[in-house]
Chain A
Amino acid sequence: SQQGEEDPQALSIQEGENATMNCSYKTSINNLQWYRQNSGRGLVHLILIRSNEREKHSGRLRVTLDTSKKSSSLLITASRAADTASYFCATDALESGGGADGLTFGKGTHLIIQP
């Protein structure tokens, strides 16, 4: 069952602009994670934000989490052509069997950076 839903499904911006992607989820979580997937490759972990955190930064990436609205956003600043990829949010449900039940992934946002 899909827990997270990313919005928009697709986003095309000019190089240098900022890109914002949103994720909504349904049940209480331990953490929420964002991943990037380049075409034909595996997913690469970007950021993990725990349920008691509101914001986290990593380089040009900024993730926010609002547990009251069950939503998260991923901001990529000063985008580059190399940021072209699909981005997925994934949730670790509060009742995840101690982490054994795995992450639940959304369907992803496909980001295209126009040079």
Chain B
Amino acid sequence: NAGVTQTPKFQVLKTGQSMTLQCAQDMNHEYMSWYRQDPGMGLRLIHYSVGAGITDQGEVPNGYNVSRSTTEDFPLRLLSAAPSQTSVYFCASSLQGSHSPLHFGNGTRLTVT
């Protein structure tokens, strides 16, 4: 099993550009989520989904969009990149949300100049 796969691993954007971070899991998990990790801040939840067609906002959703058309995929879209969105982004999935262990991808390191 591949687990949780994120692409790309690295990305550099200019302010105002848009892009999509891809996340796919092959564990048939209903729950998927996106976190960002910043130095000294720990991980913060951006958006999450409890199943196909259902998404909701986390702690820091502004500037990001998500959709969940299939159980396997949960892409994160940056609408108009800002330097404050420079971060490492992690996708995670689980069987029962926070009631069970999260499985993380290896992250996307994004720099916005």
Contact = CB atoms under 8 A, between A and B. Distances in A.
Interface of B: 4, 31, 33, 35, 40-45, 48, 50, 56, 58-59, 90, 92, 96-107
The size class of the interface chain A forms with chain B is: 20 to 34
Interface stretch (A61-69, A73-81, A95-103): A95-103
Contacts of A45: 101-103
A48 B58 contact: no
28 contacts: A31-B99, A33-B101, A33-B102, A40-B106, A42-B105, A45-B102, A48-B101, A90-B98, A90-B102, A92-B99, A97-B97, A98-B97, A99-B96, A99-B97, A99-B100, A100-B31, A100-B50, A100-B97, A101-B45, A101-B48, A102-B97, A103-B98, A105-B35, A105-B43, A106-B42, A107-B40, A107-B41, A107-B42
B23 to A, nearest CB: 11
Contacts of B97: 96-102
